[in-house]
């Protein structure tokens, strides 16, 4: 190998090693398997994953063992002529029917699990959180102390009003917003309302075993989860959505219910206060402007 080629190879290796992992979240648990589950759904989905994995692993070992056994048993031997076998119809039927039944059973089981875990309606007391994905980040809107999100509509969604808020809804006065941070309490159902500003993005948290596309012009309102583990997780967009896709991520913090309630109290008070100051300064400038915003 010439020295220039070696230098090129070395530089390429250095580049890959230094740049490739730069934006990846450090993973601390279960490096050789899926990351530790952190929601109720995730644990049940894992049980299906384990069943399929151990079943296919068992079939793989069994078939490979038989294959290798026959390879050795019927290897070429001096003085032994080759023997032609047409096969055995009865055996063919058996080894076609058994896998077909297994696939059918797995299909039915998986489908039922999908509808029970992923498409079941969210509990009525779930915390409602509104998420709008955009190139390249996540707008998050949380309900304040009243537990209700201010009304919104798809038609009102613009670059400036990215949640599509209707300004006259008092339920929205104590709502608070965060950028690229989703904070949820442990052990309480959280119901997400997912939308997109521009192109298709995907809400994906590996520890939650949750993956849902967000589609422009659509409100996706069937996604919900209940966190079972405290910690900080990464929400990563999983649809190639443009040049900045690699860095479209958000923090998902699972905190205790007390911490969550404290945060909501603080944030919704701040939201109410800022609204009051805004209204006061508006009325000082022009009393008619306030009247028209009501
Ligand atoms: Cu994206």
Q: pLDDT tens for residues 185-228? A: 999 999 999 999 999 999 999 999 989 999 998 999 999 999 99
Q: Rounded CA gap, 213 and 240, in Å?
A: 11
The strand pairing partners of 193, in sequence order, are 130
Ligand 1 centroid from CA 215, angstroms: 11
Handedness of CA 207, 208, 211, 217 (dihedral sign): negative
Check residue 292 and give its pLDDT.
46
User: Lowest mean pLDDT: which of 64-68, 148-152, 230-234?
Assistant: 148-152
Ligand 1 centroid from CA 30, angstroms: 26
| Percent of the chain topping pLDDT 90 | 57
| Beta strand residue intervals within the chain, DSSP E | 127-134, 137-142, 176-179, 181-185, 189-196, 201-205, 210-214, 224-226, 231-237, 249-255
Edge-to-edge strands of the sheet including 201-205? 181-185, 249-255, 231-237, 201-205, 210-214
Name the band, by pLDDT with cuts 50, 70 and 90, for residue 1: low
Q: Average pLDDT for residues 244-261, to the nearest whole number?
A: 93
Q: Average pLDDT for residues 248-252, to the nearest whole number?
A: 93
Ligand 1 centroid from CA 204, angstroms: 10
Q: Rounded CA gap, 185 and 254, in Å?
A: 6
Ligand 1 centroid from CA 241, angstroms: 5
| Secondary structure class of 42 (helix, strand, coil) | helix
Residue with tokens 């080629």: 5
Q: Rounded CA gap, 15 and 257, in Å?
A: 44
Check residue 290 and give its pLDDT.
47
Q: Rounded CA gap, 282 and 212, in Å?
A: 41
The DSSP 8-state label assigned to residue 95 in this structure reads: H
| Secondary structure class of 120 (helix, strand, coil) | coil
Q: Average pLDDT for residues 68-72, to the nearest whole number?
A: 95
Q: Is the peptide bond before 143 cis (omega within 30 degrees of 0)?
A: no
Check residue 85 and give its pLDDT.
84
Ligand 1 centroid from CA 136, angstroms: 6
Ligand 1 centroid from CA 175, angstroms: 25
pTM value? Answer: 0.77
Name the band, by pLDDT with cuts 50, 70 and 90, for residue 97: very high
Check residue 294 and give its pLDDT.
42
The DSSP 8-state label assigned to residue 130 in this structure reads: E
Ligand 1 centroid from CA 53, angstroms: 30
The DSSP 8-state label assigned to residue 122 in this structure reads: P
| Secondary structure class of 268 (helix, strand, coil) | helix
Decide if 141 contacts 194 (C-beta within 8 A). no
Name the band, by pLDDT with cuts 50, 70 and 90, for residue 293: very low
Check residue 20 and give its pLDDT.
64
Ligand 1 centroid from CA 47, angstroms: 29
The predicted-structure confidence for 117-174, as pLDDT tens digits, reads as follows 878 899 999 999 999 999 999 999 999 888 888 888 877 788 888 888 887 777 778 8
The predicted-structure confidence for 3-23, as pLDDT tens digits, reads as follows 889 999 999 998 887 776 666
Ligand 1 centroid from CA 153, angstroms: 22
| Secondary structure class of 255 (helix, strand, coil) | strand
Ramachandran region, residue 30 (left: φ > 0; alpha: ψ -120 to 50; beta: rest): left
* CB-count exposure of residue 242 (10 Å: 0-12, 13-18, 19+): middle
């Amino acid at each position: 190998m010439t020295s220039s080629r070696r230098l090129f190879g070395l530089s390429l290796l250095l580049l890959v090693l230094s740049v490739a992992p730069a934006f990846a979240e450090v993973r601390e648990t279960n490096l050789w398997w899926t990351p530790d589950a952190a929601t109720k759904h995730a644990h049940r989905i894992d049980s299906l994953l384990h069943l399929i994995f151990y079943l296919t692993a068992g079939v793989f070992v069994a078939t490979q063992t038989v294959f290798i056994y026959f390879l050795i048993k019927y290897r070429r031997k001096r003085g032994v002529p080759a023997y032609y076998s047409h096969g055995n119809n009865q055996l063919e039927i058996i080894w076609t029917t058994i896998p077909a039944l297994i696939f059918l059973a797995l299909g039915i089981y998986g489908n039922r699990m999908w509808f029970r875990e992923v498409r079941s309606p969210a509990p009525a007391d779930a915390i409602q959180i509104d998420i709008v994905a955009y190139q390249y980040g996540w707008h998050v809107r949380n309900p304040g102390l009243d537990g209700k999100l201010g009304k919104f509509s798809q038609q009102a969604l613009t670059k400036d009003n990215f949640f599509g808020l209707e300004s006259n809804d008092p339920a929205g006065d104590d709502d608070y917003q965060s950028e690229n941070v989703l904070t949820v309490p442990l052990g309480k159902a959280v119901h997400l309302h997912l939308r997109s500003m521009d192109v298709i993005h995907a809400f994906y948290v590996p520890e939650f075993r949750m993956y849902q596309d967000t589609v422009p012009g659509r409100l996706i309102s069937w996604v919900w989860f209940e966190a079972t583990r405290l910690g900080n997780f990464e929400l990563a967009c999983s649809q190639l959505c443009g040049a900045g896709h690699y860095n479209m991520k958000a923090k998902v913090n699972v905190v205790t219910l007390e911490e969550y309630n404290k945060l909501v109290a603080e944030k919704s008070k701040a939201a109410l206060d800022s609204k009051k100051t805004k209204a006061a300064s508006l009325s000082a400038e022009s009393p008619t402007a306030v009247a028209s915003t009501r």
